[in-house]
Structures are given as structure tokens and as C-alpha cells.
């Protein structure tokens, strides 16, 4: 029987999936190449002010939005900011929250754990990086008559999309940082977001400052992060 280009499931069209099966040898090599490429990704806190074209940011966002999501609701909005005045407002508000966090909200243990990263309350990258991408999660959608429409597994979905965005940024030869000023609600206000959106993550995007140094961290070996049941 000839393979159909599409079929019907519950009255909905399903299209033929384009498979991408590799030979065993290619499979081993391709997975290894990608691991080695991603193993070079590092969180970078110092940026060059070199511009990055808007088109690139749009492509990175489209890549993130290929992520799987609960019932394919894609419960996210990626806000991309290059406007200098707005970046300054974001920096000022983030630093105001971070000051309180570092001075009173974070435990001594937490601050000790962060010592190797060399973080502090000052966030110049929020003005220097050419783009800030603020990821918002949609806790629900808003229907035609203003009613709440459910989304599913919102944190998981937006977390996966954010991971794919970080991967895409690295793949483009750019750098980013998962910045989470806490609390983050100032971002919804500054960016005029609708009532169903909550800030999830802030990612500065750009080229690293040259030279840039990053903490000499090591990643856990396979034995420490996995268990095989064969």
C-alpha cells in the first residue's frame, strides 16, 4: 500500500513525519558532536555592546517556539528589548530588587554558594547587551469574550522553550545568562504585559566582552547524573 501524505485522526489532519534516521556510525558521531558543542556553552556576565541584527533574534525566538508544550498551547511570549531607555529602566528596577535580595533576602549559605560565580547586585549587562529577551509564561489564555482559557504544564513548557532558546543562542555563536531578579513582577509592568502573563526568565543576548573569563566549574560525570536500567 502506498504511504499517504496525510491521514485523518479524530477528524484532524495528521501529516507524514519526515524521518531523519542516521546510520549507527553517524548516530554516534552526530550525538557526540552536538554534546561537545553544547558543553562549550557557558553563562556569560560580561557583554560587548556590538549590535546583533533583529532578524537573528526573531530566528532564535522562532527556534524556542518549536518546543513541545502542553496541548500545543505554546503558553509563552518572548519580549525582545533593544531600546536603550527601556534597558536602563529594567536595569534600575532589577538592581533595586537585587540590592534587597543580596542585603536581606538571600541566606548566608546561598551567598556562599554563589561566591565561585562572582555575582553581585550590580547588573551592567542589562544595559550593555544589545538585546534582552524576557520570557513570559501565560498562566492561562484569554478567550474572545475575555474569559480564562486553560493552559497546561505551563512551567514545564516554558522551561523547555527557554532551554531551547539558550541552545539556539549558543549555536548562533552568541552568549546569554539565565538572569532571575527576584521578584520579577517589575518586568510585566515595565513591558505593559497583559494580566495573564508572568515573567519567567530574563536572558541578555549578545557577544561576550573580549576577553571574558568564566568560573572554572566542572560538570558532573555521567555516573553522577544518570542511572541505566537495561
Residues that bind ligand IYR (CB under 6 A): 98, 114, 117, 119, 179-182
Q: Is residue 58 a contact partner of residue 150, using CB atoms and an 8 Å limit?
A: no
| Residue corresponding to grid cell 522562532 | 62
- Beta strands 6-9 and 175-176, pairing class: unpaired
Give 114's contacts (C-beta < 8 A, 6+ positions apart): none
Q: 156, 158, 175: which is closest to 166 by C-alpha? A: 175
Pick the closer one to ligand IYR by CB: 18 or 219.
219
Pick the closer one to ligand IYR by CB: 32 or 117.
117
**What's the min distance (Å) between Cβ of 12 and ligand IYR?**
42
Pick the closer one to ligand IYR by CB: 26 or 113.
113
Pick the closer one to ligand IYR by CB: 57 or 184.
184
Q: 175, 87, 191: which is closest to 136 by C-alpha? A: 191
**What's the min distance (Å) between Cβ of 83 and ligand IYR?**
22
**What's the min distance (Å) between Cβ of 60 and ligand IYR?**
22
Q: Is residue 54 a contact partner of residue 130, using CB atoms and an 8 Å limit?
A: no
DSSP letter for each residue of 176-190 = E--B--SS-HHHHHH
**What's the min distance (Å) between Cβ of 109 and ligand IYR?**
11
d(CA 215, CA 218): 9
Pick the closer one to ligand IYR by CB: 73 or 99.
99
**What's the min distance (Å) between Cβ of 105 and ligand IYR?**
10
Pick the closer one to ligand IYR by CB: 181 or 208.
181
CA atoms within 13 A on the CB side of 30: 8
**Could you give the angle at the alpha carbon of 212 between the alpha carbons of 159 and 204, nearest 5°?**
35
**What's the min distance (Å) between Cβ of 46 and ligand IYR?**
14
Amino acid at each position: 500500500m502506498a504511504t499517504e501524505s496525510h491521514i485523518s485522526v479524530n477528524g484532524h489532519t495528521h501529516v507524514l513525519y519526515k524521518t531523519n534516521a542516521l546510520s549507527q556510525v553517524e548516530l554516534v558521531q552526530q550525538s557526540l558532536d552536538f554534546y561537545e558543542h553544547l558543553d562549550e556553552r557557558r553563562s556569560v556576565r560580561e557583554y560587548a555592546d556590538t549590535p546583533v541584527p533583529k532578524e537573528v533574534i526573531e530566528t532564535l525566538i522562532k527556534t524556542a517556539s518549536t518546543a513541545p508544550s502542553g496541548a500545543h498551547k505554546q503558553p509563552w511570549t518572548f519580549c525582545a528589548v533593544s531600546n536603550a531607555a527601556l534597558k536602563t529602566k529594567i536595569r534600575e528596577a532589577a538592581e533595586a530588587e537585587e540590592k534587597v535580595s543580596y542585603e536581606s533576602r538571600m541566606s548566608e549559605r546561598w551567598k556562599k554558594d554563589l561566591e565561585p560565580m562572582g555575582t553581585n547586585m550590580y547588573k551592567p549587562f542589562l544595559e550593555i547587551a544589545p538585546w534582552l529577551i524576557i520570557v513570559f509564561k501565560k498562566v492561562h489564555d484569554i478567550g474572545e469574550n475575555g474569559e480564562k482559557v486553560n493552559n497546561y504544564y505551563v512551567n514545564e513548557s516554558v522551561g523547555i522553550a527557554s532551554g531551547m532558546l539558550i541552545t539556539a543562542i549558543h549555536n548562533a555563536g552568541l552568549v546569554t545568562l539565565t538572569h532571575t531578579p527576584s521578584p520579577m513582577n517589575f518586568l510585566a509592568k515595565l513591558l505593559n504585559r497583559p494580566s495573564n502573563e508572568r515573567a519567567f526568565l530574563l536572558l541578555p543576548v549578545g557577544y561576550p566582552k573580549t576577553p571574558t573569563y568564566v568560573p572554572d566549574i566542572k560538570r558532573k560525570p555521567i555516573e553522577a547524573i544518570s542511572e541505566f536500567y537495561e
